[in-house]
Chains A and B, each alone.
Chain A
Amino acid sequence: MNGVAPVYAPSPRGALGALGVLATVIRRDLLLALRRKSEVLTSLFFFVIVVSLFPLGIGPEMALLRTIAPGVLWVAALLAAMLSLNRLFASDYADGTLEQMVLSPAPLGLLVIGKIMAHWLVSGLPLVLIAPVLGLQYDLAPRPLAVLILSLLIGTPLLSLIGAIGASLTLGVRGGGVLLSLLTLPLYIPALIFGAGAVEADISGLGAAGHLSLLAGLLALAGFFAPWATTAGLRIALE
């Protein structure tokens, strides 16, 4: 006897399916990002500025810049990704929509995956796209540059996935922003090592395939575990 006729229009249930729900969540977050452009652009500008600061601090020696380029770009990407994590769940938490997501019949894990994908599209992908320009600032040769972009392409979703765990755990917590960085940055280290390492390995002629495949392996691992942990974190945060 489940279900009571709605007061108004009885609507058919099950019209969307899992993929439809996923698409809805992604579209919703993209639409929101589009309406608050400034927030999105902030982390991108942050990335560009941080990367551009290093030559000013270190000096314009091209040989040195070429050596540090992979590390600088990756660390900056790490920080930029972290900067945008606060937004991932916080506004949904504040206005009650997160509560409704937890209570919706759709599996929360699916909604979380949707939100993480949207987060990557908004804050990860732009970093990948702007990276070639910044790589040129550092005089990277075309091949290492291609490896860098590839490593960022595999690595930035990883950052979104791992960061989502931290974002869910620090939701509504005192000093959440700083705490979030304390929690997530150590977890980002393998991504940093394999990501930046891939470019260095390519430059030194060792070949980047090993690093990149390990990075992809980490992505698969995180793709499996992170939504689960994030879901648990969100449930705890809303209790």
Chain B
Amino acid sequence: MFTANNLACVRGDRHLFAGLGFMLEPSGRLHVTGENGSGKTSLLRILCGLSLPETGEICWQGESIARIGDEYHKNVLYLGHHNALKEELTALENLRITAALADIAMEDKQGAELLGRVGLAGREKLQVRFLSQGQKRRVALSRLLWSSAPLWVLDEPFVALDTVAVTWLAGIIGKHLSAGGMAVLTSHQEVAIDGGIAQTLRIAS
């Protein structure tokens, strides 16, 4: 169970939001909506523990995430605006390093198969800077396939993807939710995700 209570966020002089809270059970997904600059990304960064809220508390399984620290990070997968890929490394190298940071030893064969699944077969050994925006995004998204983190925090995951990939990604998120996972996501486009219990949180500015 993932709960947030009375969160407030201040950026410089601006009070982005205050008194924000929600509760997410297994198989639950939370859509965060709001205008540009309303603080969606700030909220997501607070939820995964990157930044601290001005007030309020976030609890994972009843424990404050500020207290459990790295233990919490095992349970979260965060996908931000950045693809978090090194341009000079190949897709496969990027994948293996990301896996290693999550303490997973990934074989080249496994990695190649994963990249095949996101439609990058034959491009595993290409440096990421030679890939298109959409392809880079797919490499980044391949993390969703092997991660065992129950909570996915996804910031605009559908950006830069074509329609086929959007449907594919929606399916992946749906499967994760059916398996008892949770997801918090922002998206400015309407995407139908099957499975899970949906909630919407609107940040009013």
Interface, chain A (partner B; CB < 8 A) = 1-17, 20-21, 24, 28, 31-32, 35-36, 95-97, 99-107, 111, 238-239
Residue-wise, chain B 38-65 has the 8 Å CB interface mask toward A (1 for contact) of: 0000000000111110000000010000
Tell me the smallest distance from the CB of A108 to a CB of chain B, in Å: 8
Alpha-carbon distance A21/B80, docked complex (angstroms): 23
Q: In this complex, what residue of B is CB-closest to A34?
A: B88
Instruction: Knowing that A16-B105, A97-B85 touch, tell me 15 more A-B residue pairs with CB under 8 angstroms.
Output: A3-B150, A7-B145, A7-B179, A9-B145, A9-B146, A12-B104, A13-B103, A15-B103, A35-B127, A95-B82, A95-B83, A97-B86, A105-B73, A105-B74, A111-B101
Interface centre among A4, A28, A101 (most CB of B within 10 A): A4
Known: A4-B149, A99-B78. A11 touches B106 (CB 8 A): yes
B89 interface neighbour in A17, A35, A102, Cβ under 8 Å: A35
Are B84 and A100 touching (Cβ within 8 A)?
yes
Tell me the smallest distance from the CB of B109 to a CB of chain A, in Å: 11
The 10 closest A-B pairs by CB, nearest first: A96-B82, A15-B105, A8-B145, A96-B84, A35-B88, A24-B100, A104-B101, A239-B51, A105-B74, A4-B181
B48 interface neighbour in A5, A32, A95, A103, Cβ under 8 Å: A103
| Residues 77 to 131 of chain B near chain A (Cβ within 8 Å) | 78, 80-89, 93, 97-106, 110, 113-114, 117, 127
B148 an interface residue at 8 Å Cβ cutoff?
Answer: yes
Are B101 and A32 touching (Cβ within 8 A)?
no
Interface, chain B (partner A; CB < 8 A) = 26, 48-52, 61, 70-71, 73-76, 78, 80-89, 93, 97-106, 110, 113-114, 117, 127, 144-150, 172, 175-176, 179-181
Q: In this complex, what residue of B is CB-closest to A24?
A: B100
Alpha-carbon distance A238/B45, docked complex (angstroms): 9
Alpha-carbon distance A216/B76, docked complex (angstroms): 40
Alpha-carbon distance A46/B176, docked complex (angstroms): 52
A13 interface neighbour in B82, B148, B175, Cβ under 8 Å: B148
Alpha-carbon distance A232/B100, docked complex (angstroms): 23
Residues of B with C-beta under 8 A to A106: 70, 101, 103
Residues of B with C-beta under 8 A to A11: 99, 104, 106, 110, 146, 148
Residues of A with C-beta under 8 A to B101: 21, 24, 100-101, 104, 106, 111
Residues of A with C-beta under 8 A to B181: 4
Residues of A with C-beta under 8 A to B104: 11-13, 15-16
Are B97 and A28 touching (Cβ within 8 A)?
yes
8 A-B residue contacts at CB 8 Å?
A1-B26, A5-B179, A6-B148, A7-B172, A11-B148, A28-B97, A105-B71, A107-B70
A20 interface neighbour in B98, B105, B127, B149, Cβ under 8 Å: B105
Are A6 and B147 touching (Cβ within 8 A)?
yes
Q: In this complex, what residue of B is CB-closest to A5?
A: B179
Are A7 and B48 touching (Cβ within 8 A)?
no
Residues of A with C-beta under 8 A to B82: 95-97, 99
Known: A2-B75, A32-B89. A10 touches B148 (CB 8 A): yes
Alpha-carbon distance A32/B86, docked complex (angstroms): 8
Alpha-carbon distance A166/B78, docked complex (angstroms): 27
Q: In this complex, what residue of B is CB-closest to A93?
A: B82
Are A96 and B114 touching (Cβ within 8 A)?
no
Residues of B with C-beta under 8 A to A2: 61, 74-75, 150
Q: In this complex, what residue of B is CB-closest to A11?
A: B104
Tell me the smallest distance from the CB of B24 to a CB of chain A, in Å: 13
Alpha-carbon distance A31/B48, docked complex (angstroms): 29
Are A8 and B176 touching (Cβ within 8 A)?
no
Tell me the smallest distance from the CB of B192 to a CB of chain A, in Å: 18
Are B81 and A20 touching (Cβ within 8 A)?
no
Are B110 and A103 touching (Cβ within 8 A)?
no
